[in-house]
Structure formats: C-alpha cells, structure tokens
Amino acid sequence: MITALGIAQICSWGSLYYSFPLIAEAMRRDLGWAKPDLYLAVTIGLIAASLAAYPVGAAIDRGRGRVVMATAALAAGLLLIMWSRVQSLYGFYLIFAAIGGLHAATLYEPAFAVIARRAGASGARRGITALTLWGGFASTVFVPLIQFLLDQVGWRGALIGLGLVNILICAPLYVFAIDPARDQAVAGAADRPTVTGRRAVVVAAGRPVFWALVLALVAYAAAFSILTFHLYPILLEKGLAPAAVVGVIAVIGPAQVAGRVLVWFFMAEAPVRRIGSVAVLAFPFAAAGFAFAPAEFWLLAPVALFYGAANGVLTIVRGLAVPEMVDRNAYGAINGALTAPMHLVQALAPLAAAALWARDGDYDRVMLAVIAGTLVLAASFWAAALFSRRRRMSS
C-alpha cells in the first residue's frame, strides 16, 4: 500500500504542485501575461483547497478514500489537459481553482487519512512517516522532467504529459492501493471510531490542544508560504549571485528527506509532541539566518539545510498530530478542519508579502513578519504539546 501510494504521491505532487513555477514562467513568455496575474491563480487554488479540506476528510472517514483520490487524480489529469488549451486569464483562473480544490483530495492530507483508516490511529505513524519519504523526492524527479518537456514540446505539450501522468499512473495506483474492505476490518478493532464527522470536529474543537495546533499551523503556513514564493528574490536582494541563490534553494529538498530519515531511524517511538517541540525551534533561527546572515553561500546553505530538515520533520508532525495529540477518532474530518485555516493563510501570505514589499521597496519588514510568525509557531506548538500531555495524564 505505502509503495503504491508513495509513487502516486510523487506524481501528484510533481505534476500538480511543483509544476506551477516552471509552467507559469513559460506561459508568461508565450502569452505576455504579468507575473502577479499568473500567480494570483496560486492564491485562488489554495483557497479552493482550504474549502475542500473538510468534506474530503469526512468522505475518507466514511470509507470513500479510493473513490475520492482516484476520481480526483482522473479529474486533475483532465484539468491539466484543459489548462494546456487555455487562452484567457479568467479561464486559467477557473481551471486552477478546480485544480486547487483537487489538491485537498490528492496530496498529503487525504493520503494520511487513508493510512490512518487502514492502519488505525495506533499504527499510522510508520506508514505516514514512510509516505513522506516517498513524497520528498517529488521535486527531484519532476522538476528536471518538466524542464525536459518544456524544452522538447513547450508548456502546452508538457501539461498534456502531466495530465496523462495523473490519468494513467496516479488514478490506477490510488485504486490499487486503497482497499475499503481492509479498512473495515481494521475499524472493527480496538481503535474503532466511535464519533465521526462534524460531531467529532465539535468534540475536538472543545479541547485547547486543537486551537493551539490551529494557531501553530497557521503561523507555519504563513512563514512557509512566504519563503516558498519569495526566498529567491529575498536572497537576490541580499546581494547573493543568482547561481548561488539556486544552490541555496536546492539544498532544501534533500534536507527535508534527511530530516524525515532521522525521524524514521532515531525517533520512531518518540511522542510526536516531543518531536514537534524540537523541530519548531529550528524555524526562528532559520528565518533569522535568511534575514541577517551575510550574502555568502557557505553561510546561507547551512541555514537552508537547517530549514529544510525542520520542514521535513514538521510534515510528519502534521500527519500524526491529530491521532496522537487531539483525538484518535475521525482522522479525516478533524485533520481537514485543522488544516483548512492553514491552507487559507498559505494562499494569502505570498500576496501580503508582495504588497508589503511594494510599499517598502525591500523585504526587511517581510522578513521581520516571517521571524514573528516562526516565534508564534514555536510558542503555539509548545502550548499544544503541554495541553496534549495534560490530557493524556488525566485520561
């Protein structure tokens, strides 16, 4: 199951997420559209993902994971092919709004929910950790592949190829990997859900740990999204040469995988609240490093390594926070409610950063905001860890 899901996740992330900057740049050159207009599609898509997160999670809780993920992959493939024929900006926005909604049904969160339903809350840890190891290779595989397609067949041909990847690889793998009959067998065990859907979310929302995690994930999403879309110009503004900037950013992906490997081998049995409490410490230091370190590759590359490893670990923490810190019932619904605000902030933060840059003419205030967000992340997660520990001790 994990191998099939892992291959599908590499293809889903690579074709639906990591493809955008490369395709958008080729579209800008070909169609003459402004970069802000193109990147508004990202915001629209992530808002759609935020709105879809809860209903997708609730559907998976009801045993519909195979239908949800396979159908979403098929629809994503068709939408990518439609994107290849786009002529108008507004048509592009409509297509990307639909693709963004499908992010909520094809990327990590629904896959985590599928694993939790198959393995039960107590057995989900190793499966979720293993899946993030697979997903960490998505950019390594697909960025060169997409660039090759762009060079050979152009952006329209590349999108057709990516659409076929979803139709011919992702959708069949999701059908093969997700077995509702086996889910039902696990649900009859000791960790069988007793509360589902909206009622489970209401119960979870009555616990302080839920809201502490919401605040932590919102702060993380803001900082992560700003750095994802603005780190390149931030480092250029510091005076780093373009080739060195690319080198610094290239460190982040392998570092994410390395962080997950460390969790797999050395912290496999550690409580997720303890893993997360250590990982969040890295973010303020990394943000300060990007903001204040001299413009030297040998100084900024270790910062990127530190940041990437912490990102990799926090992906695992996100996947395990619900069953280990909040509630073992109704993983999909609770996780959808928990991550919906995160996706919304993730959509708006890059635009806010761009507006702040336009007002000031530099990234100084943006980086101060990123540092503040990482401090909120650390404080909120520590509070969540404390609430979770108290709840376990009292139960």
What domains appear along the chain, each with residue ranges and CATH number?
Answer: 2-187 (1.20.1250.20), 197-394 (1.20.1250.20)
Indicate if the pLDDT at residue 190 is higher than 70.
no
Indicate if the pLDDT at residue 300 is higher than 90.
yes
Residue 192 pLDDT grade (very low, low, confident, very high; cuts 50, 70, 90): very low
Tokens of 174: 């999701």
The pLDDT tens digits of the residues spanning 132-182 come to 888 888 877 887 888 889 999 999 999 999 999 999 999 999 999 998 888
270 SS3 class: coil
Angle between helices 208-238 and 242-250 (to 10 degrees): 150
Q: What's the rounded Cα separation, in Å, for the pair 28 and 244?
A: 24
Residue 356 pLDDT grade (very low, low, confident, very high; cuts 50, 70, 90): confident
Q: Which residues contact residue 298 at a Cβ distance below 8 angstroms, ignoring those fewer than 6 apart?
A: none
Sign of the dihedral through C-alpha 186, 187, 189, 193: positive
Q: Say whether pTM exceeds 0.85.
A: no
| Tokens 């693709």 sit on residue | 99
The pLDDT tens digits of the residues spanning 68-111 come to 999 999 999 999 999 999 999 999 999 999 999 999 999 998 99
Rg of the Cα atoms in the chain: 20
Q: Which residues contact residue 201 at a Cβ distance below 8 angstroms, ignoring those fewer than 6 apart?
A: 54, 330, 333, 334, 337
